[in-house]
Structure 1
């Protein structure tokens, strides 16, 4: 009986975590990063479009990888490669606690984590982030924790 109760709570926790990701993350048809390869940001320091044939699903979110090698790296350690703040603009999350769309080609890898930024209509938020990174990152971390509890 105890095992059944423990399994129920474990499944409930996993469902809640998956549901929070699919509800709060920046996704199109449950695909993260507008289909870009999360591993490529780290391995080639570029935004590289992923391919459906190398898709991986983690907690209800689908990630497209650009190669079998990147897929293997991602599967081994997905938490290392997923973008911060659910893939929303890091600057907006820090400045206002808002979920703002990103340009997946405007990014920064900082302390082994991927941060994405809005860049459209002559408004690139990456330079603004760089001007006050420590303060904005601390605020973004706090704001995001309040969104995904």
Structure 2
């Protein structure tokens, strides 16, 4: 009987630990955009930079981190101008008609738009036909956007 009580209490304790970890991961209540990278840095600095969790802004259901107050102010004034195309999903995949996550370090700014890709290798493939891939992605994105929303991407 003592073993069963100990096992039961251990299970409850483990459940509380998992709950606490989950709450810490989503303490802000919103998913983190760009894995915490500063979207303004791509445009202003020309490189991917990890943002500061203490300098953030919630937009479009996601929490965005920035490297400086100035970057946050620029984003707040024009979020659509700094947010990545295709809601930050892989530009190559979208151009081919499907959804795939992307990494913030496989990026390209083209004609004032930020595009992310799944990997550096995929980014290289996407860039070989960049203009055609952007046209294809822009054409396919309206339908894919609905699917992305349904799946919480």
Indicate the residue corresponding to 1:117 in structure 2: 117
Output the CA distance in 2 between the equivalents of 1:60 and 1:103: 19
- Structure 1 residue 134 and structure 2 residue 131: aligned? yes
CA deviation profile, 1:79-122 (whole Å, cap 9, x unmatched): 11000011011011102x22212221110000000000111xxx
Output the CA distance in 1 between the equivalents of 2:62 and 2:88: 11
Aligned length, in residue pairs: 117
The structure richer in strand per residue is 1
Output the CA distance in 2 between the equivalents of 1:59 and 1:136: 25
Output the CA distance in 1 between the equivalents of 2:39 and 2:115: 11
**Secondary structure in 2 matching 1:39:** helix
Gaps of 5+ in 1: 1-28
The answer to whether the Cα contact below 8 Å between 2:31 and 2:61 also exists between their aligned partners in 1 is yes
- Structure 1 residue 147 and structure 2 residue 124: aligned? no
Output the CA distance in 1 between the equivalents of 2:139 and 2:91: 12
**Secondary structure in 1 matching 2:39:** coil
CA deviation profile, 1:27-69 (whole Å, cap 9, x unmatched): xx52111110000000111110111111111122211111111
Output the CA distance in 1 between the equivalents of 2:90 and 2:71: 24
Higher relative contact order (CA closer than 8 Å, sequence separation 6+)? 1
Output the CA distance in 2 between the equivalents of 1:66 and 1:90: 25
- Structure 1 residue 63 and structure 2 residue 40: aligned? no
The 5-angstrom pairing of residues 20-99 of structure 1 reads 30-95=31-96, 97-99=97-99
The structure richer in helix per residue is 2
Output the CA distance in 1 between the equivalents of 2:127 and 2:145: 25
Gaps of 5+ in 2: 1-29, 147-153
Output the CA distance in 2 between the equivalents of 1:75 and 1:137: 26
Offset of 1:148 from its aligned partner? Answer: 2.7
Instruction: Say which one has the larger Rg.
Output: 2
